[in-house]
């Protein structure tokens, strides 16, 4: 999935995501774990907003994403912030790094975008392969509750300065997937030009996630409600998963 149209408008449509807060939470979590971030990989980094915020906090970080279009935006944003960051175009289940890393982060339900269970397992195995002993893999997943009751079969409309977007969801109960269709109407002068994206997100049971991590040699050491250190509950929309190698 190239997300070529989505990349153009992604930052405008996700302006409500507080990336400084999320980067600060990750730093606080690392302190709680008594873990020095060291060399850090931002997996499925998208347009690089979190990568940049982590770099601003002194973390030696680089990003990987499967979309060239997303990475093109990320590279320009890094340059605009006076940062020289490395971005690589790789699918997360096939990452092939130059060496090992101390920390891997993967934010904003990127794992949910991998709808094949075998590919999730491969992703965990590749992360484990390139993670140093004692290193941490920190990621988040959207819950079934969010897929069923928040995204569900709902339609959302966004009207920003540069795009009018209609976001339509279709929840599939048998597979715990949400089919997402985005129709973009981008403003160029007095005219609108339409483009579209369609993709799926799949909700995974946490027991399954923990089991797959274990098979990859990663021990789950924490499950938290989003941006907190509280345990998830039955209405949690996003769960932070913390896994350790060794």
Whole-angstrom CA distances from 45 to 41, 84, 93, 109, 172 are 9, 15, 14, 11, 27
Per-residue pLDDT of 183-202, as tens digits, reads 999 988 888 899 999 999 99
Q: In terms of C-beta density within 10 A (0-12 exposed, 13-18 middle, 19 or more buried), how is residue 49 classed?
A: buried
Per-residue pLDDT of 31-81, as tens digits, reads 999 999 999 999 999 999 999 999 999 999 999 999 999 999 999 999 999
Question: How many DSSP H helices and E strands does the chain contain?
Answer: 7, 11
Residue 169 has pLDDT above 90, yes or no: yes
Spatial separation of the C-alpha atoms in residues 218 and 22, rounded to whole Å: 23
List residues bridging with 244 in a β-sheet: 136, 219
Given the structure tokens 């998208």, which residue do they identify? 46
Where are the alpha helices (H) located in the chain, listed in sequence order?
Answer: 4-13, 19-32, 49-56, 68-80, 117-130, 144-145, 206-215
């Amino acid at each position: 999935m190239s997300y070529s149209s989505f990349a153009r408008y992604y930052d405008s449509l996700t302006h409500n995501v507080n990336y400084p807060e999320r980067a600060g939470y990750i730093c606080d979590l690392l302190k709680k774990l008594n873990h020095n971030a060291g060399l850090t990989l931002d997996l499925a980094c998208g347009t690089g907003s979190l990568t940049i915020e982590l770099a601003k906090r002194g973390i030696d970080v680089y990003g990987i994403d499967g979309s060239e279009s997303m990475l093109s935006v990320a590279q320009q944003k890094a340059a605009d912030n006076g940062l020289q960051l490395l971005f690589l175009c790789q699918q997360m289940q096939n990452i092939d790094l130059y060496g090992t890393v101390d920390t891997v982060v993967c934010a904003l339900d990127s794992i949910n975008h991998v709808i094949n269970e075998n590919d999730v397992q491969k992703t965990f195995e590749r992360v484990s392969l390139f993670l140093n002993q004692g290193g941490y893999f920190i990621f988040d997943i959207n819950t079934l509750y969010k897929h069923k009751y928040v995204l569900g079969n709902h339609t959302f409309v966004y009207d920003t300065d540069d795009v009018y977007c209609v976001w339509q969801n279709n929840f599939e109960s048998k597979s715990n997937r949400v089919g997402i269709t985005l129709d973009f109407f981008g403003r160029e002068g007095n005219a609108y030009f339409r483009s579209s994206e369609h993709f799926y997100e799949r909700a995974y049971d946490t027991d399954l996630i923990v089991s797959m991590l274990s098979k990859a040699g990663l021990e789950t050491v924490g499950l938290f409600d989003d941006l907190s250190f509280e345990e998830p509950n039955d209405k949690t929309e996003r769960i932070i998963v913390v896994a350790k190698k060794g």
